[in-house]
Amino acid sequence: AAGVIQSPRHLIKEKRETATLKCYPIPRHDTVYWYQQGPGQDPQFLISFYEKMQSDKGSIPDRFSAQQFSDYHSELNMSSLELGDSALYFCASSPRGRDGNTIYFGEGSWLTVV
Amino acid sequence: AQTVTQSQPEMSVQEAETVTLSCTYDTSENNYYLFWYKQPPSRQMILVIRQEAYKQQNATENRFSVNFQKAAKSFSLKISDSQLGDTAMYFCAFMSDTDKLIFGTGTRLQVFP
């Protein structure tokens, strides 16, 4: 079965640089979520989209932005990177209202800021 | 606001034995979903089991089962016949209808041979 695809899997950036993470949800899933997991922490919700519209916002810094495109893929843009942005970034998708609202995660994108 | 609490930072169990991981949550919602996710050393987030709050029957997936006590707001995970591959961080998570997942702080499970 198709899963959530994230790219790149690993990314190394310098402070103050910009990074873009991409996410391709499971086909026919209409909701996409972005989570950030720091070392030794639980995943923290950043932002979500439903049918290409932002549906909820969590602890996402103003330096970060995201959008969902017409083909349902999503991109997380991170600017003015700081050392504290080093984390594992998960994208997840769900078929809202179906399949028990289950959220399926991609394998994550490792961002290291040096 | 909803919260999820996992009071056991670490647990250990011997291979083939049974272990139970605890989770409590707080919500004023009546319709919601509860999940257990497994995160092995690869850091992949893998769905283990889910429970819909309106269903009284406890969910079961092979060696994994839950004890869902809605009135007590408790959602524990029982792993039977533990295997070395069960070694991982386990996160309990809550989601109200059409909302986001809220995670607990996790329980690190070590299975010993």
**pLDDT score recorded for residue A105:** 95
Average pLDDT over residues B27-48: 93
Check CB contact of A107 with chain B, cutoff 8 Å: yes
pLDDT for residue B60 is more than 90: yes
Instruction: Give me the residue from A56, A100, A105 closest to B100, CB to CB.
Output: A56
Residues 6+ apart with CB under 8 A from B43: A37, A88, A108
Nearest CA in chain B to A47: B100
| Nearest Cα to Cα of residue B79 among B33, B24, B11 | B11
pLDDT for residue B37 is more than 90: yes
pLDDT for residue B105 is more than 70: yes
| Subunit contact B45:A58, Cβ cutoff 8 A | no
pLDDT band at A100 (very low <50, low <70, confident <90, very high): low
Average pLDDT over residues A24-40: 93
Nearest CA in chain A to B90: A42
Average pLDDT over residues A10-33: 95
Token digits for A71?
């083909």
| Nearest Cα to Cα of residue B100 among B38, B35, B41 | B35
pLDDT band at B19 (very low <50, low <70, confident <90, very high): very high
Chain A residues with CB-CB distance to B38 below 8 A:
none
**pLDDT score recorded for residue A98:** 66
DSSP A101: G
Residues 6+ apart with CB under 8 A from A69: A52, A75
pLDDT band at A113 (very low <50, low <70, confident <90, very high): very high
pLDDT for residue B30 is more than 90: no
Chain B residues with CB-CB distance to A109 below 8 A:
none
pLDDT for residue A34 is more than 90: yes
Query: Of chain A residues 20-79, which have a CB less than 8 A from chain B?
Result: 33, 35, 37, 41-43, 45, 48, 50, 56, 58
Distance between CA atoms of residues B61 and B26, nearest Å? 25
- Of residues B1 and B76, more confidently modeled: B76
| Nearest Cα to Cα of residue B3 among B30, B29, B33, B24 | B24
Average pLDDT over residues B70-85: 97
Nearest CA in chain B to A42: B105
**pLDDT score recorded for residue B100:** 86
- What is the DSSP annotation of B70-109? TTTTEEEEEE-S--GGG-EEEEEEEEETT---EE---EEE
pLDDT band at B66 (very low <50, low <70, confident <90, very high): very high
**pLDDT score recorded for residue A17:** 98
Instruction: Give me the residue from B33, B44, B91 closest to A42, CB to CB.
Output: B91
Nearest CA in chain B to A101: B98
